[in-house]
Every structure is written in structure tokens, then in C-alpha cells.
Amino acid sequence: MTLSPDFSDTRLSKGDAAAQRVPGVDIMSRMGVPMIFAKDEEVYGQDENAELLYRVVSGAVRTSQVLTDGRRQIGGFYYTGELFGFEVGQRHRFSAEALSDCEILVLKASALRAASAEAYDHLVGSATNRELDRTQDHVLLLGRKSARERVASFLIGIADRGRSDAVTLPMGRQDMADYLGLTIETVSRMLSQLQGALVVEFAGFREFRINNRGALTRLAN
């Protein structure tokens, strides 16, 4: 991990779309410290104290939890503009790692709180709500969906972030599997199935198009 060089605030001051929409995000941009993480580098560790807020500036991040024997569960993926790691005043239940080389804005929660209690409440409150929402979806997926449904749900979820039907996956099969509670082989088979059914079409491991969004949504349940 390295602090990004001076010209980084140039990038930050060019307010992106997310920064304009959400009040409190620009205050975070002003106060936060930009940091660079290499692919697979740890942003914070399991059981570490949670006193910092993080926002993805570029690249993507995953949070994960590991059992003693190495089984891994990914909690979520975070993309440009999103906040993560805000289980404030507790220990992190998940660790966070960079999915790819990425830039992350880091801010001490207490500093933001001191600067503007209102901005803090809004930022952390809405982020926590969104997080809870996602996590509850995740529970349903893991508890009651079949492998095919899980993979279909996942593709829909990823596709819904962008406007287009052409999507680039920011993660590999192992990360997908560990998010979906499956093995890498099962994920691969389900992707092949979906492709065989002409619902999606892959061009390379990480590039695909959705050919039939209705069918995919139905398969996701």
C-alpha cells in the first residue's frame, strides 16, 4: 500500500457523479486521504478495529471472512463511489482486499463525525441501510437458491450496476464462487449452461453480454 502522489487530488476534485448526488460524500472527498492498493492487497483485516471509513475511487474491493480450515465466504463487492468498512466502533467481521489495483479514499470516522455530525449520520446511516439490504438478499440467495439461480442472480446484479447489456466482470471465478457459496467448478458449469441456453454469451472469461434479460431474471427467481 502506498499513499498516492500529490496529483491525486486533481483526480478527486473532478467531482464524479456519485460525489455530486450524495451530500456528505464531497466532505469525505475533501477530508479523506487517498491511498493506492495493489491487487489482492489487504485494506483491513478480520477482527481489526473499525475506526476508518473507506470509499472506492477507482478499481474494486471485496470483503471476505475465512474459517479456520480455509473455507472463505465473500460478503460483497464494492465499486467506484461506494463506501465500505463502516461497522463503526466494532471489530470488522470481514477483511477487505483490493480486487484489482485500486485507489481508495480513507477517512477517520471520528474526524468526519467531529467535522459534521449531520454528514456523518447521513453517510454512515444510508450506507449501513444499503449494506443491510444487500446482505439480506445475500442470505436468501445462500439459504434457498439453487446453483443456477445463484449464478443467474449474480449476473443480473452485476449487469444492473451498468446501463448496458455488455458487462465486464471485475472478479475471477474463485471470487464468484466464494460469494455464491459454491465451488469454482459449479460456477463454471452454470455459466456454460446459461451460455448454452443462449441467455448470455461470453467473449473471454470476463466479458459477456446478456442476450435475454427476461429469461435470466426468471432463472434468478
What is the binding site for a copy of itself (CB under 8 A)?
65, 67-69, 71-73, 75, 87-90, 93-94, 121, 125, 128-129, 131-133, 135-140, 142-145, 178, 180-181, 221
The set of long-range contacts for 195-203, using a CB threshold of 8 Å and a minimum separation of 24, is: 199/152, 200/155
Residue 164 contacts which entry, a copy of itself, DNA, none (Cβ below 5-8 A, type-dependent): none
Amino acid at 181: G
Expressed in angstroms, the distance from the first to the final Cα of the chain is 41
In terms of CB distance, is 8 or 100 closer to DNA? 100
Residue 215 contacts which entry, a copy of itself, DNA, none (Cβ below 5-8 A, type-dependent): none
- Joined together, the cell numbers standing for residue 114 give 467531529
- Joined together, the cell numbers standing for residue 145 give 437458491
- Joined together, the cell numbers standing for residue 55 give 470509499
Closest alpha carbon to 149 in 216, 98, 205:
216
Residue whose C-alpha cell is 448454452? 196
Minimum gap (Å) between residue 136 Cβ and a copy of itself: 5
Evaluated on CA atoms 158, 162, 167, 171, the torsion sign reads negative
Residue 87 contacts which entry, a copy of itself, DNA, none (Cβ below 5-8 A, type-dependent): a copy of itself
Minimum gap (Å) between residue 58 Cβ and DNA: 17
Subset of residues 63 to 102 that bind DNA, contact rule: CB under 7 A: none
Minimum gap (Å) between residue 30 Cβ and a copy of itself: 24
Buried b (16+ CB within 10 A) or exposed e, 3-31: ebeeebeeebeeeeebbeebebbbbbbeb
Q: Could you give the string, one character per residue 182-201, with x where binding to DNA holds by CB under 7 A and - elsewhere? A: xxxxxxxx-xx---------
Minimum gap (Å) between residue 76 Cβ and DNA: 18
- Joined together, the cell numbers standing for residue 174 give 474463485
Residue 160 contacts which entry, a copy of itself, DNA, none (Cβ below 5-8 A, type-dependent): none
What does the alpha-carbon distance between residue 24 and residue 218 come to, in Å, rounded to a whole number?
38
In terms of CB distance, is 112 or 159 closer to DNA? 159
Residue 187 contacts which entry, DNA, a copy of itself, none (Cβ below 5-8 A, type-dependent): DNA
Q: Could you give the string, one character per residue 117-156, with x where binding to DNA holds by CB under 7 A and - elsewhere? A: -----------------------------xxx--------
Closest alpha carbon to 184 in 172, 173, 168, 199:
173
Residues near DNA, by CB under 7 A: 146-148, 172-174, 181-189, 191-192, 202, 204-206
